[in-house]
A and B are shown apart, each in its own frame.
Chain A
Amino acid sequence: GDSVTQMEGPVTLSEEAFLTINCTYTATGYPSLFWYVQYPGEGLQLLLKATKADDKGSNKGFEATYRKETTSFHLEKGSVQVSDSAVYFCALRSETSGSRLTFGEGTQLTVNP
């Protein structure tokens, strides 16, 4: 079945540091891939998405590239801010899963000033 594996957290960085959160997946065919962010006490917000191999999703300085050969969708940001502190979820929607989203466990990011 479909699955998403995220790097173990939590991650703590200083402001302006480079961020990478690893995400790998298992799915049949060519799934659509997503990164969602969850701020404390809130629901999920779509951060970025990619729907086919080699697509790069980007938003608010965050980027992720759909790598079919390594089944990965790593999230990166060149310079993090305190306001980026949140939980980040990698998710997929596969061709055989209907409309279901499959999420990873989430990675807690804390950015210190």
Chain B
Amino acid sequence: DAGVTQSPTHLIKTRGQQVTLRCSPKSGHDTVSWYQQALGQGPQFIFQYYEEEERQRGNFPDRFSGHQFPNYSSELNVNALLLGDSALYLCASSLAQVRSYGYTFGSGTRLTVV
């Protein structure tokens, strides 16, 4: 049973560029959340998608946007990249009906902005 799959694993971009990160949730999961983990810190919630809509959003600017597809996979888009966007981006999937369930996380995409 495949877990959460993220691509690419590493990415280097230049300031001002745009980037798209991709996530396939664990089989049977219908909800995808994205987190940003800066070096040496805990993950910070960006947003969550369920039924192809953004359901909840953390304290991130509009440069961060996303999408969920009918097969539950998701994309995270970041526009006008800043040096401070360099981080590990984690995707987590879950089943919406099970509130007490801990998310299943992917291995992340390491984004470096130069």
Interface residues on B, range: 20 to 34
B30-42 CB contact bits vs A (8 Å, 1 = yes)?
Answer: 0101010000111
Count contacts between A and B, CB distance < 8 Å: 65
* A100 near B107: Cβ-Cβ < 8 Å: no
Question: Nearest chain-A residue to B57 (Cβ)?
Answer: A100
| A42-B107 in contact given A99-B55, A103-B42, A105-B42 (Cβ < 8 Å) | yes
> Contact string, A69-113, partner B, CB cutoff 8 A, digits 1/0?
000000000000000000001010100001111111110000000
User: Which residues of A are at the interface with B, using a C-beta cutoff of 8 A?
Assistant: 4, 32, 34, 36, 41-46, 49, 51, 89, 91, 93, 98-106
Besides A42-B107, A49-B100, 16 more A-B contacts (Cβ < 8 Å) are A36-B105, A41-B107, A43-B105, A44-B43, A44-B92, A93-B99, A98-B48, A99-B31, A99-B48, A99-B56, A100-B56, A101-B33, A101-B103, A103-B43, A105-B42, A106-B40
Which residue of chain A has the shortest Cβ distance to B44 in the bound complex? Answer: A103
B31 to chain A: closest CB distance in Å? 7
Candidates A44, A49, A51, A100; contact of B45 at CB < 8 Å: A100
Among A51, A89, A91, A105, the residue within 8 A (CB) of B100 is A51
A101/B48 in contact, CB under 8 A: no
- CB pair A32–B103 under 8 Å, yes or no, is no
With contacts A99-B31, A100-B56 taken as known, whether A44 is within 8 angstroms of B41 at the C-beta atoms is no
- Name, among A43, A45, A49, A98, the residue most crowded by chain B CB atoms within 10 Å (CB to CB): A43
B104 within 8 A of A: yes
CB proximity of A99 to chain B, nearest CB, Å: 5
**For residue A95, which residue of chain B has the nearest CB?**
B99
Closest chain A residue to B94, Cβ basis: A99
Q: Which residues in A have their C-beta under 8 angstroms from that of B99?
A: 32, 93, 99
Smallest CB-CB separation from B58: which chain A residue?
A100
Question: Which chain A residues border B66 with CB–CB below 8 Å?
Answer: none
Give the distance in Å from the alpha carbon of A51 to the alpha carbon of B43 in the complex: 21
**Known A101-B45, A104-B42: A43·B33 in contact at CB below 8 Å:** no
Report yes or no: B106 in contact with A43, Cβ–Cβ below 8 A. Answer: yes
